[in-house]
Homo-oligomer: A and B are copies of this chain.
Amino acid sequence: MTPHLPMAGRGGGEFDQLRAIFERLGAAAGDLGDDCALVPLGDATLALSIDASLEGVHFRTEWLSFEEIGWRAAGAALSDLAAEGAEPVGVLVSLGLPARKGGSGERGAVEPGAEIMAGVGACVASVGAKVLGGDLVRSERYLVDVAVIGTVTRPVRRRGARPGDGVWVTGVLGGAARALAALRDGRSIDQETRARFARATPRIAAGTWLAARGATAMIDISDGLAADAAHLAAASGVALEIDLERVPCWPEVDPLAAVASGEEYELLVTLPAAFTQAEAQGLAQSGEVRLTRIGACVAGAGVRLSAHGRVVPAPAGWDHFAP
């Protein structure tokens, strides 16, 4: 599920209730609490997820081009596959388009639906997958709902971390929040930082690489590292100790802001203690993304952030639907 931007109307207890309803509806236990549903099919296992992006909740048309809106929606959905160690087969897209005010000339030559789908298509193609089908509806706000279909040979759930495992993270954190703040305030921002929000790379290749190297638990950092670490810790029944000084931070972002930055679409992963930083170089050397050890799993519950040996209170993070 995609986190809601802070501007979103939040639902509080109603959404907790709905989560409970989803869980009651007969799905296999454990599936709904993870990044993907897993369905055995012959020799394969399907990995499935759906992710709705709605104007005013997940994006604003003043902030992003329509092509970026499409890329972001597809990237958020594909990130759920990455977090499972799955490879995408393709996506189905329901597209909601407002009636064009003032006819086809309203935004010059830009055809929003075409631009959105071009962005979806580019993102999906970047990970070797396809747009398999779609539906169109006339809606008041732009809507891009992306269902992802993938396959996985060694699924990595949120619940497999064990005391002693190392805690690792892909990429460099904090750029997405920095870009979002600039967009919200109407400040200009360099293209590289902007791209962290507007055109994040789904970590499909990193996810499968980590799964093949014995990852014990994995989650994508859509809520921010601190919040998603708490989700992984709860699912696994362990505590996560994270050293803030080891967290790779985007330029001009301090570690506490980096671990609160949502919409990063990087992977937080636990790996056996024997997995070394030297092995981690392999991922960076393949040109994918850097992989950094930021802490360890221990017996207990919750997430402990520390800086230079001192405990630091966890930031609120991006609490889904919290009031």
Contact = CB atoms under 8 A, between A and B. Distances in A.
A105 B157 CA distance: 38
**Chain A interface mostly helix, strand, loop or mixed?**
mixed
A133 B4 contact: no
A95 B97 CA distance: 17
Interface residues of A, number: 73
Given A27-B132, A113-B18, A52 B145 contact: yes
Interface stretch (A86-94, A201-209, A291-299): A86-94
A208 B189 CA distance: 56
Contact of A134 (B22, B90, B99, B118): B22
From A2, A37, A44, residue with most partner B Cβ within 10 Å: A37
A22 B131 contact: yes
Interface string A132-149: 111111111101010101
A289 interface: no
B39 A132 contact: yes
A27 B131 contact: yes
A50 B131 contact: no
Contacts of A89: 39, 41, 46
Nearest to A90: B39
Contact of A94 (B15, B28, B50, B141): B50
A57 interface: yes
A321 interface: yes
Interface string A43-82: 1101011111010011000000000000000000000000
Interface of A: 1-2, 4, 8-11, 14-15, 17-19, 21-22, 25-28, 31-32, 36-37, 39, 41-44, 46, 48-52, 54, 57-58, 89-90, 92-97, 99-100, 104, 111, 113-114, 117-118, 120-121, 125, 130-141, 143, 145, 147, 149, 151, 321
